Amino acid sequence: MHKSRKAVSRNVGVEIGAICSKYFLKSQHLHYGYWTSDLEVDIANLRIAQENYAGFLISHIPSDVKSILDVGCGSGQIAKMLLDAGYQVDCVSPSSYLSNQARQLLGARSIIFECFYEELETPNRYDLILFSESFQYIKPQEAISRTLGLLNEGGYILICDIFKRDTPDKSLLPGGHPLKTFYDIVSQYPLELVKDLDITEQTAPTLDIVNDALNKVIRPSADLAQQFLNDLYPLMSRCLKFLYRKRISRISEKYFSGAKTGENFKKFKSYRLLLYRQAGVIADEVPHLTHPCLGAIVNRDPCPVCRTSDGPRVTSDGFLEV
């Protein structure tokens, strides 16, 4: 399948984000943070918030799940946590750079399918297909129909991602399928809803971190680079600004308008954790939504197994130790 310009641009953006996150934040995670009420919203705490997010996500995996396909695995951090917890995990990643990062991290413990999810061909079947901030990049109908073909009987779909709210105002924040449209589409498939949690309030502060970095670091740096070009090559600078004036204007409006804030995120977006199971399993039969070796994170009740085993441990407030 030919890669579209949009897909290539998206991959490059994610790869740059991975490099910056690893170097500046000492974090391998490429997703939003989950900000608890006691965690100060500061870039120094972003890594902790991202680890909270991973723990929150994993805590909602039903206890009967053994095998998982991580769609859009990034550099493989969540996959590693899942492997360490005893799951069998394979990954999908369209980025060569991130696939190599994941292979180095996961070794022979996981198969990395280096392709777009829409292109995936494998005889393997899984108990759960995980979309952590990757569902928004795939057409919902194609994502769901392909996923149903990859699930074992009674398998699950776990989506933790951004959706668009139905609002009359225009948002400058990208990403996400319309939530109402998603609900309409998923109702057409043999799936039963197990969990639908709105975590917009807990994830929105991540945008305040991004907005702060854009306007206090990226924009001043870009202005200095532009001034440098103006001073040394004034004619070239004027020509470039004229030729690319529309693109420069769009970039400025998109990234430096101050619209990427937590409040705007809450206004225009809905960040949700959605767990579905193939139809035919009644609600009372759905297992407890916490793996026994991860601790009941939602209930802030550490699992006693984790306190005595060599497996993953949880802290006193119920989050995974990393």
What does pTM read for this prediction? 0.74
* 66 lies in the same domain as 82: yes
Quote the pLDDT of residue 203: 96
Give the pair of three-digit tokens for residue 180. Answer: 């109402």
* 249 lies in the same domain as 222: yes
Q: Is 26 left (phi over 0), alpha (psi -120 to 50) or beta?
A: left
Tell me how many domains the chain contains.
3
* 126 lies in the same domain as 166: yes
Taking only the tens place, the pLDDT of each residue in 40-57 is 999 889 999 999 999 999
Whichever domain contains 107, its CATH number is 3.40.50.150
| pLDDT class of 223 with cuts at 50, 70, 90 | low
Burial class (CB in 10 A: 0-12, 13-18, 19+), 261: middle
Quote the pLDDT of residue 228: 73
Taking only the tens place, the pLDDT of each residue in 278-297 is 986 544 455 544 444 443 33
Give, in order, the Cα–Cα distances in Å from 211 to each of 31, 35, 67, 104, 265. Answer: 16, 16, 38, 32, 11
Position 33 pLDDT exceeds 90:
yes
* Angstrom distance (rounded) from CA 109 to CA 89: 8
Quote the pLDDT of residue 248: 62
Quote the pLDDT of residue 315: 42
Q: Which residues contact 140 (CB under 8 A, 6 or more apart)?
A: 177, 181, 182, 185, 186
Quote the pLDDT of residue 307: 32
* 309 lies in the same domain as 270: no
Full residue range of the structural domain in which residue 116 is found: 5-205+261-291
* 200 lies in the same domain as 211: no
| pLDDT class of 305 with cuts at 50, 70, 90 | very low
* 33 lies in the same domain as 182: yes
236-251: burial string, b at 16+ Cβ within 10 Å, e else: ebeeeeeeeeeeeeee
In this predicted model, which residue has the larger pLDDT, 12 or 277? 277
Taking only the tens place, the pLDDT of each residue in 99-150 is 999 999 999 999 999 999 999 999 999 999 999 999 999 999 999 999 999 9
- Angle subtended at Cα 82 by Cα 202 and Cα 193, rounded to the nearest 5 degrees: 60
* 12 lies in the same domain as 145: yes
> Do the Cβ atoms of 212 and 43 come closer than 8 Å?
yes
